[in-house]
Structure 1
Amino acid sequence: MGTHSRAASGAAAFTPDALSVGARHLEVGGDWVASFAVVGFPREVHAGWLSPLLTYPGRLDVALHVEPIDPTVAAARLRKQLAKLESGRRQTAEHGRLSDPRVEAATEDAYDLSSRVARGEGKLFRVGLYLTVHAGAAQTLADEVAAVRSLCASLLLDAKHTTYRSLQGWVSTLPMGLDLIGMRRTFDTAALAAAFPFTSPDLPAPDPTSVAAPSGVLYGYNIGSQGLVHWDRFGDGMHNHNSVILGRSGSGKSYLVKLELLRSLYRGVEVAVVDPEDEYSRLAGAVGGTHVRLGATGVRLNPFDLPIHTRTDGHRTAPKDALVRRSLFLHTVIAVLLGTPPQAAERAALDRAIAATYQSVGITADPRTWTRPSPTLRTLRDHLARGDQTAQSLAARLHPFVDGAFKHLFDGPSSATGEGHLVVFSLRDLPDELKAIGTLLVLDTVWRRVSNPAIRRPRLVVVDEAWLLMQDRSGAEFLFRMAKAARKHWAGLTVATQDTADVLATDLGKAVVANAATQILLRQASQTIDEITRTFDLSAGERAFLLSADRGQGLLSAGTQRVAFQAIASPTEHDLVTSDPAELATHHDPDDHTTTTFVDLDAT
């Protein structure tokens, strides 16, 4: 079959069986359609002002045709319009007539628009807005037309029938980019931006008149209104940039986290992930990220490393209290390793041993010594072994992590730097006994980069299955401190977990949830819904929704606003973020993380 024949057969699939043209309607196959052109608009509009049309319960096609106007032509037209308006005002004043409020308002708007175009804060566009109503019968069409015109009137839109041009009106609303009506209105950038449905009526909308780069992430569509749920965790009005995602196993929790992560990378956000099940490796390979497998041979994170920051000029600096803070952090590390916080005598012995450990390698209170190679856990164990009975008891308890089965994570200097636009720390190869300490060391490594004052860009720290760290009090305290301090460093913490009851059972867990300005609840188990209802003050309808929500459906809460949404992804995004074993078996080799190609994000 030739190219022409294939094209003809493809076009036939979209050609109606019959087409009857009337003065104000069409019969397309078995459908009755009527088209309108919007010729009158309100003076002022708000973000998402077309959402009522887009969420109309009947079948309504909305087409917006946009054509930019050359700046030179725009300036000339504005001057001509201003001249007409001013001439009319002067003539009215000379004859002693009362001024027309509409002319006065139009003149003010023209002056304001002219000044913004002259300063380069906006441009002008010729915009055509057309509507097509569908129905199954003539009487039904008349009812739908009346309802749509009433809706337009409530929005201060004047919708006129495309009388004797019904065919052209219908074609203008088809997804072909053809405007056969040609009834245009001049819009500026702010008004045109507000017309796009990149907002949800249940969430506070960003300022559409801002000249800053677009921000925010698309989470999905509003289940109630079918509008888009677009949310910016780094918005100026947010108390912090943290997010908590709670959902039972299989509710789509990791899917949503990866989807937000991928779309945040488009914005230039730097992301670090604590991945307990190695679910982010394909995504890291696709976008050129760094994948660190803790538990693999030669992969180590030394908790004794001092937070040395390298500036853009190559100069290396550190906080004035870096050594003191690192000594305090080592107390937390030892507490997690031992499983219980040391007693008072043990803390004193440990504090003396930590100081002696640093001094043994030449690191003192003098910042000039802080760039020297750091000691290791073995050095600390040896100093404890030479102390009193309490210190020797601590040394014996550290034996598995120095000479025993768990030594590989600490046996030497750090081999993973954790630098890049996306860094994934996989904990799957770690024994269960080391997952908590592995998560803590990863968070510390990430925090040292987040707190680097030389790097000024938004960052996300994702802790998937956070219950692993929340089980240990010392680890939960570290996570809480990160949640409290992340905003000061232009960073946001994402905590995702399926063990909602364990997180909310502790005061620290509740504090981490409370310090998240963005809270997302996915489907919940009936055993935990009571605690969820009390903690988040859910209504009866929200409670019922979370008990019956499908996969990917959830409740996004931001302050006093809440919206039920369905996560959506493009086929390419879905291919990268899905963890369904059946899909992975048909599309990917589970051991191959190097052959996927998506997009180069190094430029961000």
Structure 2
Amino acid sequence: MAKRQAKARQQPASSASAFTPDAISVGARHLEVGGGDFVASFAITGYPREVHAGWLAPLLTYPGRVDVSLHIDPIDPATAATRLRKQLAKLESGRRHTADKGRLLDPYVEAATEDAHDLSHRVARGEGRLFRLGLYLTVHAATEQALATEVAAVRSLAASLLLDAKPTTYRSVQGWVTCLPMGLDLVGMKRTFDTAALSAAFPFTSPDLPPPDPTSVAAPAGVLYGYNLGSSGLVHHDRWALDNHNGVVLGRSGAGKSYLTKLEILRSLYRGVEIHVIDPEDEYARLAHAVGGTYVHLGAEGVHVNPLDLPIHTRADGRRTAPRDALLRRSLFLHTVLAVLFGEELSASERAALDRAVAATYQQAGITADPRTWTRQAPLLADLAATLASRTEPGAHELAARLAPFTEGAFSGLFAGPTTTRPEGHLVVHSLRDLPDELKPIGTLLTLDTVWRQVSNPAIRKPRLVVVDETWLLMATEAGARFLYQMAKAARKRWAGLLLATQDILDFLRSPLGKAVIANAATTVLLRQAPQAIDEIAEVFNLSQGERQFLLAADRGQGLLSAGVQHVAFQSLASPTEDYLITSSPEVLANLPDTEKDSGWVDVP
């Protein structure tokens, strides 16, 4: 016996003892747990007649410490039908007795009878089920006086939600244990709920981002961004329900911009949104392959883009259509193309020479103002350079000489032939990583132009999202920034949204066109920021002092979601499968199978 006692003394304490309080002082309506935590528990006995989605979220956003516990027991259909029949019999009997005595009908009984009839019909048709729900609250405070103040505040909040909170008098221990994550209901004060009311009890919306229609009781739409850092509620956001569908994601390097963008892309695909991505670092290739998307590898051998292509759309019946001013628009777009290629605006004489040369180049290819000629093979950039070299007006020869590296020199591969791909699909990723740095701005511009053709196709009626990662590549040039601004203004009319992500925040904010693009974005996500940029960001986005400090100290994946005047701090949340598809962590990528690793390298003997 002594040996067994010594052995027991030598054994370490169980892991459960680490979470067990040293002492509990039990009162009639409260407990003192561990000598410094005063708690009081309540059971909800009265509920509102009608509820909306996320109606319990205000309890979770209470600034004090409050535990909210839901205990749910399903009721089998046979028992539910029997109970409903008995309840209806009681209500109808009471109504008839009241009518026989000539008394006024009780409006509460009338409402309960109507609800019981409606519920019985839905249960009989299999449109819902019945559940027993117990809702309990536990309030925490540091002192007994502070507990009384917190209890009064929580009961007032519950009353504003039409909830009747009754203290668990002389059952304070049972009430406290019921709110612990143990799955035990020792109070047993439950109410019958149907499926619709029970589903609305879960906090699937954030009260900081109100729904577009506050009167709607429908389930929240949009994309799940993560969970609210101020509560346990989830943050849903629907960009398609706002005035415009544009958005920007701003954050320093390593803050999680691409991760969050890919997460929104993946979840938007579930809703049937068509997505086009401009990917400068080849970060979206694995995601595209996993979901059966289209991958366009610019810079690879044999992949060409012709900036002189006319925007021709093919309708569902096989007919090909184009805007009435397609040729004029393409001629004007070529001015932007050359300005981005050269990195500066063209002079007046160069613009005049280019305008005449473009018209002559199309005529040489048999393309005129007659729309019937627009389906012919478009000329190439080399044909335009040859036309400029053959003309005598001022500036033509200078333009031809400046175009030489892009038509017959080191950078001619991208423009060496007709466009090789017509990207279509639910997810199209345009990779720019293998383009030389000198061609990345023009590659971004031409890809945006290709995407805009798809977006402006009148034969397709579905929401489309255009994602431009590392937007600073295009904003670095005046012509590229102007094109992006025009696209941001016109996207809403095509049921499209423009999502921009960048880490060069100061350059973005100091550009007049950059500020204009932000002004045309109804959704803004701010991730961790550098101290050098926080002052300008706080001024542009009207941030409070607390929000400034949050953005300076935010962990990876934490950010501030802004929709109009509403701000909510959140933590992005991804499942293990989603994390595997969207992560850009070098440690994870290094352990991928060879079939999933980058194939852009070749063996050199």
**TM-score range normalised by the length of the shorter chain:** 0.7 to 0.9
2:97 and 2:383 map into 1 onto residues whose CA distance is 93
Distance across 2 between alignment mates of 1:330 and 1:402:
15
- Kept after mapping to 2: 8 A contact 1:47/1:205: no
Question: Do the aligned partners of residues 224 and 210 (structure 1) sit closer, same or farther apart at CA in structure 2, a change above 3 Å counting?
Answer: closer
Distance change (3 Å), C-alpha of 1:121 and 1:276: farther
Conserved 8 A contact 1:63-1:174:
no
**Matched residues in 2 for 1:69 and 1:309: separation?**
56
Aligned to 1:322: 326
Asked if the contact 1:172–1:179 (Cα under 8 Å) also holds between the matched residues in 2, the reply is no
Contact 1:172–1:180 (CA<8 Å) still a contact in 2?
A: no
Q: 2:572 aligns to what?
A: 567
- Gaps spanning 5+ residues in structure 1: where? 1-11, 595-604
Residue among 493, 505, 527 paired with 2:510:
505
For 1:571 and 1:199, how far apart are their aligned partners in 2? 23
- Please tell me the residue identity of whatever aligns with 2:508: V
Residue 339 of structure 2: aligned partner? 335
Secondary structure of the 2:531 match is coil
2:261 is matched with which residue: 239, 253, 257? 257
1:50 aligns to 2:67 (yes or no): no
**Is 1:419 matched up with 2:421?**
no
Question: Higher mean Cα deviation, 535-544 or 143-152?
Answer: 143-152
Q: How far apart are 1:576 and its partner, in Å?
A: 2.1
Counterpart position of 1:226: 232
Select 2:590's aligned residue among 585, 592, 596. Answer: 585
* Residue pairs, 1:488-499, within 5 angstroms: 488-499=493-504
Structure 1 residue 516 displacement after superposition: 0.2
2:382 partner amino acid: R
**Take 2:495 and 2:83, find their aligned partners in 1: how far apart are those partners?**
44
Number of residue-to-residue matches in the alignment: 578
The SS at the match of 1:398 is helix
Matched, 1:185 2:192: yes
- Counting only pairs closer than 5 Å after superposition, residues 33-112 of structure 1 correspond to structure 2 as 38-54=44-60, 58=65, 60=67, 62-65=69-72, 67=74, 88-89=94-95, 92=98, 95-106=101-112
Give the partner amino acid of 1:535. Answer: V
Aligned to 2:10: none
Please, which of 521, 531, 534 is the counterpart of residue 539 of structure 2? 534
Which residue number corresponds to residue 597 of structure 1? none
| C-alpha contact (below 8 Å) 1:162/1:169 kept by paired residues | no
Alignment check: 8 A CA contact 2:243 2:522 kept: yes
| Matched-pair contact (CA < 8 Å) for 2:589–2:597 | no
AA aligned opposite 1:379: D
Unaligned runs of 5+ in 2: 1-13, 600-605
1:476 and 2:481 aligned? yes
Q: Distance in 1 between matches of 2:463 and 2:342?
A: 35
Aligned-residue offset at 1:100:
2.6
Q: Which residue of 1 aligns with 2:310?
A: 306
Q: Secondary structure at the match of 1:198?
A: coil
Structure 1 residues 545, 73: CA separation in 2 closer, same or farther (over 3 Å shift)?
closer
Identity of aligned residues (%): 63
The root-mean-square deviation of aligned C-alpha atoms, in Å, is 4.2
CA distance in 1, matches of 2:192, 2:556: 43
> Higher Cα Rg: structure 1 or 2?
2
Match of 1:519 in 2: 524
Q: Say which of 200, 209, 222 aligns to 1:216.
A: 222
Does the C-alpha gap of structure 1 residues 208 and 538 become closer, same or farther in structure 2, counting only changes over 3 Å?
Answer: closer
Determine the structure 1 residue equivalent to 2:284.
280
Going from structure 1 to structure 2, the CA distance change for 1:258 and 1:485 (only over 3 Å counts) comes to same
Q: 1:461 aligns with which of 459, 466, 472?
A: 466
- Do the aligned partners of residues 122 and 318 (structure 1) sit closer, same or farther apart at CA in structure 2, a change above 3 Å counting? farther
Aligned match of 2:603: none
| Residues 1:296 and 2:303 aligned together | no
Match of 1:347 among 351, 367, 375: 351
Larger mean Cα displacement after TM superposition, 28-37 or 423-432: 28-37
Question: Contact (CA 8 Å) 1:248, 1:498: kept in 2 or not?
Answer: yes
Do the aligned residues in 2 keep the contact of 1:218 with 1:228 (CA within 8 Å)? Answer: yes
Equivalence for 1:128: 133
Q: Is residue 223–residue 564 contact of structure 1 (8 Å, CA) maintained in 2?
A: yes
AA matched with 1:245: V
* Cα pair 2:286 2:581 within 8 Å, conserved: yes
The 3 A distance-change label for structure 1 pair 529 and 121 is farther
Superimposed CA distance per residue, residues 126-157 of structure 1 (whole angstroms, 9 cap, x where no aligned partner): 341344759999x99x9899687776555433
* In 2, Cα distance between equivalents of 1:545 and 1:490: 34
Work out the CA distance in 2 between the residues paired with 1:116 and 1:443.
54
TM-score (norm 2): 0.82
